[in-house]
Chain A
Amino acid sequence: RKEVEQDPGPFNVPEGATVAFNCTYSNSASQSFFWYRQDCRKEPKLLMSVYSSGNEDGRFTAQLNRASQYISLLIRDSKLSDSATYLCVVNGRGGSYIPTFGRGTSLIVHP
């Protein structure tokens, strides 16, 4: 089983739609969790951190479920500019904070 698993998609949604991505991780000792955004042929950039209490940033909401070992990202009112690959990142491998990436979920928002 991979350490971090994501559905690669693509998720193809119209503007204004709500879309949700999930990510599962295998290491129950993982310490911190993030969602990164990666545009085509660019480096990943931090979208948001994920906390047990959940966190929201504008149209984006992230949730962590430690018991089930999954992380979610919800995007409301999708924009064309949200089209990108969303990478789930889990820190904490062998007691060290080493970022481990899922393969990413591709989102395509169309008019």
Chain B
Amino acid sequence: DGGITQSPKYLFRKEGQNVTLSCEQNLNHDAMYWYRQDPGQGLRLIYYSQIVNDFQKGDIAEGYSVSREKKESFPLTVTSAQKNPTAFYLCASSTLQGIEAFFGQGTRLTVV
């Protein structure tokens, strides 16, 4: 079945640590996105990529980094520079025409 997979589902991080969230899709989509969602809030764009080896900052990129070495994969690293990383992280993909964005099941990151 085609889809988009995020892992892990839950992640606990100590302060000062970097963590990497995985996102893989087999939908052959060119565009991939990372969003952050805080309780009672909408989705805010962190980074996006429309082609391999290229990505762009979204609205809240500070403290995050990404890579796009393969079309299928778009991992997100939450660095120690991110001051408030506890949130629900959602990865999505779409065609470049943006007909529909498909989401992974999300990763809940908690800093302990």
Contacts and interface: CB of A to CB of B under 8 A. Distances in A.
B103 A45 contact: yes
Q: Interface size bucket, B side?
A: 20 to 34
A32 B42 contact: no
B76 to A, nearest CB: 15
Mostly helix, strand, loop or mixed at chain A's interface? strand
Interface residues of A, number: 26
Contacts of B21: none
Nearest to B35: A101
Contact of A97 (B90, B97, B106): B97
B100 A43 contact: no
A97 B42 contact: no
B42 A43 contact: no
Given A44-B103, A99-B101, A104 B42 contact: yes
Given A96-B50, A97-B98, A102 B42 contact: yes
Contacts of A98: 33, 45, 48, 58, 98
A98 to B, nearest CB: 6
A43 B94 contact: no
Interface in B87-112: 88, 90, 92, 94, 96-101, 103-106
Nearest first, the 7 A-B pairs at minimum CB distance are: A97-B98, A103-B42, A43-B103, A101-B43, A91-B98, A101-B42, A99-B101
